[in-house]
Chains A and B, each alone.
Chain A
């Protein structure tokens, strides 16, 4: 292998590609290698130096523009799109590692054969979670007979493509104490008399339970919105259930995405969750018109995921896993940390920054890192 070729192979893939892209295809081999050499030289100049405190730089880079972000949650600039938490609250939500997020949404891409307006609508409706109350128009209670009569809304049923059999099947699952019958447009629920006398309140309770019975669609997705994005029709949802959506045959499983990081972690694994954190944080930052290098976000995401589980940047998450007692104690709840450490007889080896600050010693980072080895003359 010649020396010139060497440069190109030593460059990161993306840079090598970019050279090829920008240079006209007529460029001579010599020219390419000359450019590649120059790019390689600059690339080498840009490398981080050992000891660089990349962590604190990342923290500063994300923390500093925090003051410039909006606090309010706005919906997307476009008119028809969904409400999504954005700005500082969203960043806090992601970095906290909160399991329940305020606005879970999904972006569902479909396989090519379903990519037309009508089919998308159909798929969207089949994803939308439907409860009994949505396909019915009237609930009436017959107290003496412990009966609930429900009037079906055939139009709605047709719209949501719910057949009687599907409906009955779903309702059978409600409970053993209730029997279901269908008579024309009327659903009749009879509450079987149990050992104990059921009061009115019990009937009401069952009525509410029936109303909320899941009939069709994907659980956890109450709203769907088919929209056109560039050349494709996609479905935006409020609510998220990645696992179930990926199982649908119409969905392009390689591209369907949710903003719920824990859902991604449990269905696709930790690496996917790491990428999801990066994507989600980056999305917010972009939306706010801020400029933060992706490397900083990657470092935060990696810190959150090193253990193989997503952990928040909180005293229960990342901070608790620190090896150093004093570093933990200096963050929050110092008393608990110190007492726990004493029970275990923990030894703090003063490897991190904060303890050395406490002790007025050089910190093992940056210029504090290298030691000097010298021969000492015996006095």
Chain B
């Protein structure tokens, strides 16, 4: 771990570039520190055999041993390669395709490309040109073209020798004229290919000489990348790679012996093939043409390729996926008393996670206080780090001693305290507001707590969701988090440029009720304001009774002016302004709410107009504070007033019930008419549709309209004072459709945009007559949720419910993959200092970001709000 290394020993170096080459035999030998000659692993004492696969020169995996090559201990030694020389050359599977291309388009005698010199010169020029013009893509195409042209030539234009057809028998056998070409032959042919020809064929001869694709020596990976595990029984269990390498070394030895003993060709061939098989599966054990090498238990071995690829492979799992210390995770719960940019951290966590603070002459007494408390008493410290980088754990016994030795230069890892910086995150982290910076408040109990207003960006709820907390450990990280990731800097969504944090649910209905028609006595008003932390009552004046609007105004700054509309606005032809019947004209003059009710249109996320204006005018810090106060106010109002919905909220008048029933009856009558017309053949087909389809479309039209109409009747007749309507009208929760479904009629259930048609032949359920086209038989639910559904209605509703459940289950991975692809291909795009958007290869993608250079997260819905500026100026 990095903190074990003293600052003096930090390596301040950066990798500039990485080059990819093929290892040449020379290189393999050069980088190897041991030649492996025996398949044995350990001797009788259990000590690694010299020249075996676990040779101590290849690195250490046992505690206590020292590496023979570099002299360092376990975990310090990164391991060293070894090599074996192969008795016979072996084809490298992953290069088979390239070797085939090379064999096909070069001469079997002189190894020149099978095209006349002038054609080669021309291609050379063209490839150079296309590299300049289009980069790798153009040259890739040209090379393909050349390969296609050169292969299948009957005669070499250079040495005039006849050519044969080269084929491949997968995975690694090459055939010429139906006869096998031995790897030795292949290697000699590849050796003869000139550097010029190789580069014409898309190889870089400095990085990849063709003959290097046929192995003569095999590098042995260091033991550190294939450590053996010691089981409880004391037995050693070797890594898959070691097993495979053992096979390779064993067969290689036997091949050597047989060759030296002058064994018959057929035996040598067999061994050679076996060696080829082992080396092939060592590289890739999931080839379609080869039976995978298996353990004794029958489970396939995981060899090199399987280690690297796929989600669980080295690249995506270990290299791109990072793990971290100084993090916590638990269940979350709401706490509207927290500020929006705060996070409540359980004391258990606060005592475990730490913040490093460097001791100086000025803070030594302050830090000694933590050390004195030790790890058990809050606020204490868990570790102190000496200037030489040695980390010392604080325990009851070491406190005294540590206190004494503490001096400037030491680092104290103290417990979390109120006001510390933390990064808070909920998965899936789909956008940048899924990870924001909060200030810590240490609280009792065992959940992480957040203000419900920030649920929306995290997409969190409290049905058991868990969230993660990270504590940045350096001053740079903290500053960056604070300046760029703090909640108040993220008020505007980078997706659409409108508020992403606003009042939700109870906060909206509370403020709605407050500003609508509530009246308070002076003492009640004082009570309310005090409970949200407002102590300055000067704005209330001397009045004895106060309206909700006046109380709301107390929160507003005195120079704030605002004109807006609430959701109740009917967009009348001539606006009555302040005298609006619905109280929908929101007017704030000099910090006083004169008319209008506060609802989602002004306080909520998305539009949240009043909030946006406050944000623009007074800045982000004020805006979060304000939001926090508004939120608390709404919740407090509801606490004082009481808020619940009951079954009786769903009662409708007899009159309304009859009206709805009439509506349904009318619709059914209309549908029956349509069916009659259809049966008589009088129905006129819509263009491009059959008669049956036309009927369905027309019926759907009628029935869908019915629920909408029923909804209108319901909302006309319902009691405006019920809490249900309050929620709907303020926009806090629920819609008039929900209400209509509960009280009026559930309506048509649509499956894939059509009425329900599945089930038995010619009918949906066995309780209907065959061929019945009535609404009832095809998923129209005339009951209400309150009144209860009939069995067939219930069944239809479940069908639609199940379908939507499936839809969600199928959609999630699809959209996840789309997201991964988008993120992967766009992640390097950034705005350069010259205002252009470029990718990592410095290619210009856009000359000016978004054609006008506007950052969506700083804009207002992606533009400058000219209207607001003009309104403010006049």
Contact = CB atoms under 8 A, between A and B. Distances in A.
B752 A72 contact: yes
Contact of B495 (A61, A335, A365): A61
Interface string B825-842: 111111111010101111
A354 interface: yes
A101 to B, nearest CB: 16
Contact of B862 (A72, A295, A333): A295
Interface string B797-821: 0000000000100111011101101
A325 B15 CA distance: 15
Contact of B815 (A59, A88, A342): A88
Interface residues of A, number: 111
Given A15-B866, A295-B850, A313-B821, A47 B430 contact: no
A59 B135 contact: no
Interface stretch (A36-44, A151-159, A183-191, A247-255): A36-44
Nearest to B821: A313
B841 A351 contact: yes
A75 to B, nearest CB: 6
Given A39-B866, A46-B858, A295-B856, A348 B18 contact: yes
Interface stretch (A18-26, A111-119, A165-173): A18-26
Contacts of A342: 20-22, 207-208
Interface in B1-46: 14-22
A69 B808 CA distance: 9
With a 10 A CB-CB cut-off, give which of B16, B98, B822, B849 has the most chain A CB atoms. B822
B203 interface: yes
A63 B845 contact: no
B697 interface: yes
Contacts of A294: 850, 862
Given A293-B862, A298-B851, A319-B825, A357 B322 contact: yes
A319 B827 contact: no
A375 interface: no
Please classify how large the interface on chain B is, using the bins under 10, 10 to 19, 20 to 34, 35 or more.
Answer: 35 or more
Nearest to A61: B495
Contact of A48 (B206, B811, B853): B853
Interface string B488-508: 000000111110000000000
B688 A350 contact: no
Contacts of A351: 828, 840-842
A379 B859 CA distance: 50
A342 B846 CA distance: 32
A67 interface: yes
A19 to B, nearest CB: 6
B430 A64 contact: yes
Given A66-B818, A292-B496, A323-B841, A330 B316 contact: yes
A57 B697 CA distance: 41
A299 B848 CA distance: 10
B27 to A, nearest CB: 12
Contacts of A82: 688
A100 interface: no
A92 B864 CA distance: 32
A70 B207 CA distance: 50
A92 B818 contact: yes
Interface string A64-96: 111101111011000110100000100110010
A352 B840 contact: yes
With a 10 A CB-CB cut-off, give which of A12, A48, A291, A334 has the most chain B CB atoms. A48
A62 interface: yes
B313 interface: yes
Contacts of B816: 66
A329 interface: yes
With a 10 A CB-CB cut-off, give which of B206, B811, B854, B864 has the most chain A CB atoms. B864
Contacts of A318: 825
Given A48-B849, A57-B494, A346-B19, A80 B320 contact: no
A335 B94 contact: yes
A341 B814 contact: no
A95 B432 contact: no
Nearest to A121: B687
Interface string A206-246: 00000000000000000111100000000000100000000
A307 interface: yes
Contact of A22 (B315, B811, B822, B867): B867
Contacts of A293: 495-497, 850, 856, 862
B825 A344 contact: no
Nearest to A11: B864
Nearest to B430: A64
A151 B336 CA distance: 80
B48 interface: no
Given A46-B855, A55-B830, A306 B840 contact: no
B786 interface: no
B823 A53 contact: no
B576 interface: no
B346 interface: no
A55 B831 CA distance: 9
Nearest to B94: A339
B334 interface: no
B850 A299 contact: yes
Interface in A320-368: 320-327, 329-331, 333-335, 338-339, 341-355, 357-359, 361, 364-367
Contacts of B221: none
Interface in A265-314: 291-296, 298-300, 302-303, 306-307, 313-314
B22 A46 contact: no
B167 to A, nearest CB: 22
Nearest to B832: A50
Given A293-B862, A344-B207, 11 more contacts: A23-B870, A46-B855, A52-B855, A55-B829, A74-B753, A299-B837, A299-B846, A299-B850, A323-B839, A327-B840, A343-B207
Interface of B: 14-22, 94-95, 98, 134-137, 202-204, 206-208, 284, 305, 308-309, 313, 315-316, 319-320, 322, 430-432, 480, 484, 494-498, 606, 686-688, 697-698, 701, 752-753, 807, 810-812, 814-816, 818-819, 821-833, 835, 837, 839-846, 849-859, 862-864, 866-867, 869-870, 873
22 contacts: A22-B870, A39-B864, A48-B849, A52-B855, A53-B829, A54-B830, A55-B826, A60-B431, A70-B811, A71-B811, A95-B821, A292-B495, A294-B850, A296-B856, A302-B837, A303-B826, A319-B824, A322-B828, A335-B94, A335-B309, A351-B842, A361-B15
Interface of A: 12, 15, 18-19, 22-23, 31, 34-35, 38-39, 42-43, 45-67, 69-72, 74-75, 79-80, 82, 88, 91-92, 95, 223-226, 238, 291-296, 298-300, 302-303, 306-307, 313-314, 318-327, 329-331, 333-335, 338-339, 341-355, 357-359, 361, 364-367, 369
